[in-house]
Structure 1
């Protein structure tokens, strides 16, 4: 459907590069201003003392911002039928209440990977994280804040973002959304929002933040076919030390959108897709889920029949093995 919308526009210059979802994405961004200010303020305060944090403190901040990025995925205009779904409250204050809604929590494993790479890294070595983006608006801000923390803490040296090359699922991030968001932050009348925008623009100029898009992300293929269908993209992802896949649709494509048993291991459902260590940050909005403990899914079915589609639950699911 989204490719058909794009096709119709391509055949009708001068609106061939028009994003029909632009206004509602912009609205969602502006309606989330208070939450964005809170997050940018927290990040700038954190950056002031980041070099003084010990390993345990760094780990705590990493877990916090990883969860903010996870729950930022609740803001999805395709699932809300484009109704207002902006983030109105400070997401950092909600983390304790939301923690028990994380059905699979592999944050410790992700942290172990990153801290061990940092300890072994020589001064000239690159540590690269790739983030396969989902929604623009507040969720994109949470992803940028997480990326900034990873760079500022020297856990990584490069962040590569992957977005959509055409408007997709209403609120998915395109290159225009990515650049527009940073420009909006730069020109904001809040000093910490502006500071974030200026910093991120500088990181892009230096090449430590890089944006990519590729047609594969808007094709119907599951990700296990990427090596054959989009060899160039698969080769690019192989350069990564960790790939973070955001959102529900990426999870569906990671797992082939099949009706797996809940206890099937995440690694098995990936069906040999493994360009690099990877994790999924996803709030559940469709009826596919793997990697649960025995009886966990059945218990949820009994207590909440629609638990898989409401966005109430989330997973931080990691796969290291090749």
Structure 2
């Protein structure tokens, strides 16, 4: 399942129509006109593979208005329990990029957490509900804002030598939360 926005917040945001367009141009080999023949064939193969998955019903696009609300992801179980259940039943949810750090801020409640706060603690109920259900999450983030969690003890002190390390995109954070069982 690929989740898209109902409407873009930023110019780089993707909706379901954009995903269909991307797969179509990949499958036709027209997405990268300046690519080498080998590169175009590789891209065409990927596009045809994804198009086949779409036809077989194995790759679905879904748009939810939740993604463009003011709510943190920890409120998803209350605001959009259907979306939360689908994500919790899935294998993995990947949040990538920085999106002006919006996804990360919504994951961590836009809180001023100590940087050593475990990531699953900062994302709260999205990570695990009282009934034990949670969303298996992988967060790939380029640091471009002060919000950051999941560092090991002593790691921040070493990074502080790089003044403003959390704000200039030189460092990144990868957080994984299993949330199953």
TM-score (norm 1): 0.48
Partner of 1:272: 125
Q: Distance in 1 between matches of 2:73 and 2:126?
A: 7
User: CA deviation digits over 1:284-317, x for unaligned, max 9?
Assistant: 122111111122223322x222221222222221
Question: 1:273 & 1:298 partners in 2: Cα distance?
Answer: 29
Alignment match, 2:36: none
**Residue ranges of structure 2 left out of the alignment (5+ in a row):** 31-39, 128-133
Q: What SS class does the counterpart of residue 89 from structure 2 fall into? A: coil
Equivalent residue number for residue 218 of structure 1: 68
Matched, 1:240 2:90: yes
Displacement of 1:222 in angstroms is 0.5
Q: Secondary structure at the match of 1:217?
A: helix
Structure-to-structure mapping, 1:152-167, within 5 angstroms: 160-167=1-8
Q: Residue 263 of structure 1 aligns with which residue?
A: 116
Larger % of helix: which?
A: 1
Superimposed CA distance per residue, residues 261-281 of structure 1 (whole angstroms, 9 cap, x where no aligned partner): 111111211122233222212
Q: Which runs of 5+ in 1 are unaligned?
A: 1-159
Q: How many residues align?
A: 162
- RMSD, aligned α-carbons: 1.7
Q: Distance in 1 between matches of 2:156 and 2:27?
A: 44
Q: Tell me if the contact between 2:95 and 2:139 (Cα under 8 Å) persists in the aligned partners.
A: yes
Once the two structures are superposed, the pairs formed by residues 147-226 of structure 1 within 5 Å of their partners are: 160-188=1-29, 190-226=40-76
2:37 corresponds in structure 1 to none
Matched residue SS, 1:209: coil
Superposition deviation, residue 321 in structure 1: 4.1
The alignment partner of 2:139 has SS state of strand
C-alpha separation in 2, matches of 1:309 and 1:178? 30
Residue aligning to 2:171? 313
Kindly report structure 1 stretches of 4+ aligned residues shifted beyond 6 Å.
none
Deviations 1:166-213 (A, max 9, x none): 012220111121111111112225222212211111111111111111
